[in-house]
Structure 1
Amino acid sequence: MSNLDTQLEQTATSALKTCHFIFPGDINTASGGYRYDREIIRGLQAQNWEVSLISLEGAYPNPTHEDKALAQHAVDDLPESSLVVIDGLALGASPELAEHVARKHRLIALVHHPLCLESGIDPRLAADLKTLEIAALKYATHVIVTSSATKTNFEELMGVPSQNISVVLPGTDRPDLSCLQRKNTSSEPVKLLCVGSLVPRKGQLHLVEAMSKLQDLEWQLDLIGSTSFAPDYAVQVRKRIAHYGLSDRINLRGGIPKAELTGFYERADVFVLPTYYEGYGMAFAEAMSFGLPVIASGDGAVSSTVPSSAGIHFKVGDESELKDALHLLLTDSTRRQELSKGAAAAARALPDWNESAQAFSSILEAQL
């Protein structure tokens, strides 16, 4: 078991419904996928689900044979015919775990995006991950994904029947925007915000390169996200920032708690994330909920998460298009205001976390 948030370990004493939630590592890890898991667990508990948390130690999503053996041992004492939810980060590369669980239990796969679509990985590893994930998902009673785009991916890439997949969108917190004031003048630097783990898929190197060509404009950039998932990539980002002499303008904050992150969203003027692929794009949705105009790239669900009324889309990996989008929003306060209004309107149409948890609960209840 990991060092779990005590609130997540508390369950309703009057619970009539029970499920077991399996995930790799620490549930409090600062990433979109883990945040989704935490919010859904809290929501299930609020609806009288007794949720047992099982943390798997190991090198996921590339577990060793020893990691896989430990994972199977971790579920051996579960009551027979239990309802078991396994996060895709643990399940995808371990069909052995899926088979082991499915022998005695009802297995629900919670998948944020296909592991094989992670950017920057060796093509041979991507092919192996695809084969393993296809094998693992065959044992799932049902699959829950976080967007319609991801549902389509699993139908087309993995051959999962459409009727076996349900979509539960991430929620938003719906902050009060009445007290927020975005910058309308050029008297202060425009505050840019990028939120995402420092991994190749998120494209922060492209952002640094684009910002290096805009040094004549007034701006500050906060890069927020864990540096532990791809340490070598994080080092590359730091080196490029230093190479361009931007250490006083680009701040690497690392992974930070949710309460602290809220402050950055409140103080920002523009949100930018040059990602390659998103199963949903929780950071985009969160930015829109704060009324932030968005600069976005990425395949998967990005285009459906961020409508054109809320942001500017550019081609994946195209630093010239990214620079142009940044230049526009750094210099045109009227355009920022227009997109800000569009972002807030788009966010109002998204579910909150309570609604997402209710949808998740309904799917689980159908498996009881």
Structure 2
Amino acid sequence: MRTALAVPGDLATLTGGYIYDRRLLHELRALGIDVTHIALPGSFPEPPARDMDAAFAQLASIPDDCPVIIDGLAFGAMDPARTAQVRAPIVALVHHPLALENGLDAGRAQALYDSERANLSRAVQVIVPSPHTAALLVTDYGVSQDRIHIARPGTDRPSEPACPVDPPLILSVGIQLPRKGHDVLLKALTQITDLDWQAKIVGAPLDAGYAQELADLRLSLGLADRVKLTGQIGRNALRALFGSATLFALATRFEGYGIVFDEALAHDLPIVSCAAGAVPDTVPPDAGILVPPDAPEAFANALRQVLSDPDCRQTLTAAARTAGQALPTWQDTAAIAASAIAATKADSS
């Protein structure tokens, strides 16, 4: 069996979606599938005309008997009229619908919704990371349930025992985009300064304007001595932070899945986050406290409860450990993706 995996930009980028794609490529090959990696232009989902042309030229080179998995960051923004001309069977990989990104004006959101819905009608199979995203595609995008394969991200187990630092570390991991809600976390942290803690927010500053807002907010709230915005760090450094943390906190406004939650569970960390998108499906109710999005006071109360109540923290930690041990592996993820590839053969027969 062979396939192609088309992903915009640098596959080594440290975001959840790119980590998923990179591991999927590796594990599909480990299953014996011949996978060609196609590096689409990195300007998606806002490509200039020349990059759109280049992307379709790359897709046109794929034989019509070779299924191509196209990452949703590009697929949802492609010209639907030209998508219909791609000869290779298309498997859409939708991490989360593009129209649901925070900060889009109404016109752009509608345009992305229209293009993604039209392109999904051309996909013979669809891979998603969560039941929540699957449900969105069925109810809002008209995708039939029998074409959807839910391939939850895999998780690597820690190789070193946990060693929490003092004062307790509140760890947050997510790229610096409005959707991740780091501004909400900062506002919440100002309400618990009477407690003993330190915090690190890890993630690449992909939105320069928002990153500057976060830097300014951190200073204006008087958090410079207790909160560090690390930017992007390497995988080993990130694993070390997970191992030294006391709790994981992400004030996200929407997640199509959220690989970092699984990493937190694998490290036995209690979670404080928001009941937004796929988070309630990803974070077990007994392993974390979920509050409404955009609610700094509620988020602060949840942080306070975990930090100041040892019994609560112990209960959440035990549940996180149980959930972490039951998480799927990346081999499991790849096996489901392989079934989606195989299904394209059945569709064409």
Which residue is equivalent to 2:157? 174
SS of 2:344's equivalent in the other structure is: coil
Q: Is the 8 A contact 2:126 2:340 kept in 1?
A: no
State the partner residue of 2:39.
Answer: 55
Instruction: Select between 263-272 and 214-223 the one with higher mean Cα deviation.
Output: 214-223
Whether the 8 Å CA contact 1:225–1:253 is kept in 2: the answer is yes
- Report the equivalent of 1:225: 203
Counterparts of 1:76-155 in structure 2 under 5 Å?
76-94=60-78, 95-101=80-86, 104-155=87-138
Q: How does 1:1-368 map to 2 (within 5 A)?
A: 17-94=1-78, 95-101=80-86, 104-175=87-158, 179-182=161-164, 188-228=166-206, 230-368=207-345
Q: What percentage of residue pairs aligned between the two structures are identical?
A: 36
SS of the residue aligned with 2:84? helix
**1: distance between equivalents of 2:293 and 2:32?**
43
Matched position secondary structure for 2:153: coil
Structure 1 distance, partners of 2:82, 2:334, is 26
More off after superposition, 331-340 vs 262-271: 331-340
Is the contact between residue 192 and residue 219 of structure 1 (CA under 8 Å) also seen in structure 2?
yes
Q: 1:365, CA displacement in angstroms?
A: 2.1
Per-residue deviation, residues 312-348 of structure 1 (Å, max 9, x unmatched): 0101111110010111112122221210110111122
Structure 2 CA distance, aligned partners of 1:63 and 1:138? 21
Unaligned runs of 5+ in 1: 1-16
Residues matched between the structures, number: 344
Paired AA for residue 99 in structure 1 = A
Letter in 2 for 1:167: I
Identify unmatched segments of 5+ residues in structure 2.
none
Matched-pair contact (CA < 8 Å) for 1:68–1:97: no
Does the CA-based 8 Å contact 2:164-2:243 persist in structure 1?
A: no
Shift of 1:307: 1.4
Amino acid at match of 2:95: H
| Inter-partner Cα distance in structure 1 for 2:59 and 2:281 | 37
Secondary structure of the structure 2 residue equivalent to 1:222: strand
Structure 1 residue 58, shift from structure 2 partner: 4.3
* TM-score normalised by length of structure 2: 0.95
Q: Which amino acid aligns with 2:139?
A: E
- The code of the aligned residue for 1:190 comes to P
Verify the 8 A CA contact 2:93 2:128 in the aligned structure 1.
yes
Give the aligned residue type for 1:76. Answer: A
Partner of 1:40: helix, strand, or coil? helix
Superposed CA deviations along residues 219-241 of structure 1, whole A, max 9, x for unmatched, are 1111011102x111111000001
**CA distance, structure 1, for counterparts of residue 225 and residue 90 of structure 2:** 49
Contact 1:58 1:64 (8 Å CA) reproduced: no
Pair 1:215–1:138, CA change in 2 (3 A): same
**How far off its partner does 1:258 sit?**
1.8
Q: How big is the shift at 1:64?
A: 2.1
* Partner Cα separation in structure 2 for residue 205 and residue 364 of structure 1: 40
| CA drift at 1:96 | 4.4
CA 1:166/1:261 → structure 2, altered by over 3 Å: closer, same or farther?
same
Runs of 4+ more than 4 Å apart: none
Q: Specify the code of the residue in structure 1 equivalent to 2:113.
A: K
C-alpha RMSD of the superposition: 1.4
CA distance in 2, matches of 1:317, 1:123: 20
Q: Distance in 1 between matches of 2:210 and 2:332?
A: 36
Aligned to 1:6: none
Q: Output the CA distance in 2 between the equivalents of 1:93 and 1:160.
A: 17
TM-score normalised to the size of structure 1? 0.90
Over residues 227-280 of structure 1, what are the superposed CA-to-partner deviations in whole Å (9 max), with x where a residue is unaligned? 02x111111000001112222211111122222211110010000001011111
Q: Note the C-alpha offset of 1:131.
A: 0.6
Quickly say closer, same or farther: Cα 1:53–1:366, change in 2 above 3 A. Answer: same
Note if contact 1:20-1:84 (Cα within 8 Å) is conserved in structure 2. Answer: yes
Query: Whole-Å Cα distance in 2 between the matches of residues 248 and 145 of structure 1?
Result: 40
